[in-house]
Chain A
Amino acid sequence: KAGVTQTPRYLIKTRGQQVTLSCSPISGHRSVSWYQQTPGQGLQFLFEYFSETQRNKGNFPGRFSGRQFSNSRSEMNVSTLELGDSALYLCASSKEPGQGPDTQYFGPGTRLTVL
């Protein structure tokens, strides 16, 4: 069974631009969560989607948004990029929400660099 896939794996953007990252969950998984990982702040929860609806949201500005499609694939968008948005963006999928991290699998991440 294929794991969680994220595209692109690496991305370089400049300040002020916007970016869209994609996450395809494991087949049969319908819940997708997004995280940002930086050296200073560590791994921080961005949001979680299930059945095309946002179930949970972390403490990030409105520049960070996401959505989920009917096939459970998810995208996150960051508008008006800032230098501090440089990070590893991870998505994780699980079959259903509420089953805990024991059934959640992380993708390889997208490394975003903002210049």
Chain B
Amino acid sequence: QKEVEQNSGPLSVPEGAIASLNCTYSDRVSQSFFWYRQYSGKSPELIMSIYSNGDKEDGRFTAQLNKASQYVSLLIRDSQPSDSATYLCAVISSFGNEKLTFGTGTRLTIIP
């Protein structure tokens, strides 16, 4: 079992709809969770971080964390064509160890 798992997609969502991206992780002591966006041919860009159970909202993005179920999700409201990218989920397992473990990413396409 991979440490961080994501559905590779592609996930197609109509423009203006909500895109929902999911990620599960295997290490129960994981403390910090991150979502990156990576456009084709570009480097990853951090878009959300979440550290405690519940929801965290930033503009059109909402990250959701459920440590009991070991999953973290990213919702993108009012999806735009510019949101088309690969979204990477990443986890840091313990404090003091900054080694990021990434999922393989979900490719999201917003259909105009």
Contact = CB atoms under 8 A, between A and B. Distances in A.
A43 B98 contact: no
A36 B23 CA distance: 20
Interface in B75-102: 88, 90, 92, 96-102
A48 B99 CA distance: 8
Main DSSP-derived SS at the B contact region: strand
Contacts of B44: 43, 90, 106
B46 A42 contact: no
B1 interface: no
Nearest to B51: A100
A104 interface: yes
A100 B105 contact: no
B69 interface: no
B112 to A, nearest CB: 27
B104 interface: yes
Contacts of B90: 43, 101
Interface of B: 32, 34, 42-46, 49, 88, 90, 92, 96-105
